[in-house]
Amino acid sequence: MMDNVFGLYNYWVVIFLMMTGFYIVISQRNLIKKVIGLNIFQTSVFLLYITIGKVEGGTAPIVSEGFNVYTNPLPSVLILTAIVVGVATTSVALALIVRIREAYETIEEDEILAQEKLT
């Protein structure tokens, strides 16, 4: 029981963040808040990958004398790419929001929908 709670501590954090982010994306009507939710959602996956890469008792993966066990560097490298993708996604999203604001003068999803219904 305690092993499940503390031994898998990282995974619980990942799941909590993932669901938080996902919930924000679904429930919020404000576009900026949606983007923030999306970011939390993506960040949880970054944590998942980094947790996968950790080897118990391993050091940083730099070859030197006296160390035999190294942490797996590959997931960290992968996540570096995923972080770049996340930043790109956020910037595209924010750019779209700026243009939505210019076109509709609001960034609330329901107000945009209401304007569409009228026209």
Partner 1 sequence: MIKQNLLALQIVIPLIAAPLCILLRRRALVWGFAVLVCWLTFGISVVLLRQVLETGLVSYEMGGWAAPWGIEYRADPLSAFVLLFVSGIGAIVLSSAGLKDTALDEIPVSRQYLFFTLYLLCLTGLLGITITGDLFNVFVFLEISALSSYGLIGLGGRRQALPAAFQYLVMGTIGATFILIGIGLMYMMTGTLNMADMAERLVMADGGRTALVAFGFLTVGIGIKMALFPLHIWLPNAYAYAPSLVTAFLAATATKVSVYILLRFVFSVFGVTFAFETLGLGGVLMFLSLLGIFVASTVAIFQTNIKRMLAYSSVAQIGYMVLGISFASTTGLVAGIVHLFNHALIKGGLFMAMGCVMLRLKSVDIEDMAGIGRKMPFTMAAWAVGGLGLIGIPATAGFISKWYLIRAALEQNWWIVAVMVLISSLLAVIYVWRVIETAFFKEPSARAREAREAPLSMLLPTWVLVGATLFFGVMTSTSAGVAGRAAEVLLRVIP
Residues that bind partner 1 (CB under 8 A): 22, 25, 31, 34, 38, 41-42, 45, 48-49, 52, 75, 78, 81-82, 85, 88-89, 92-93, 96-97, 99-100, 103-104, 109, 112, 116
Residue 4 backbone dihedrals phi, psi, to 5 degrees: -65, -35
Pick 67 or 77: Cβ nearer partner 1: 77
Nearer to partner 1, 65 or 111 (CB): 111
Q: CB of 97 within 8 A of CB of 31?
A: yes
User: What is the token pair recorded at 76?
Assistant: 């960290």
Residue 90 beta carbon to partner 1: minimum distance, rounded to whole angstroms: 9
User: CA angle, corner 88, sides to 84 and 92, nearest 5?
Assistant: 170
With 0-12 CB in 10 A as exposed, 13-18 as middle and 19+ as buried, what is 79? buried
Question: Minimum Å distance from CB 25 to partner 1?
Answer: 6
- Judged by beta carbon, residue 11 or residue 66, the one nearer partner 1 is 11
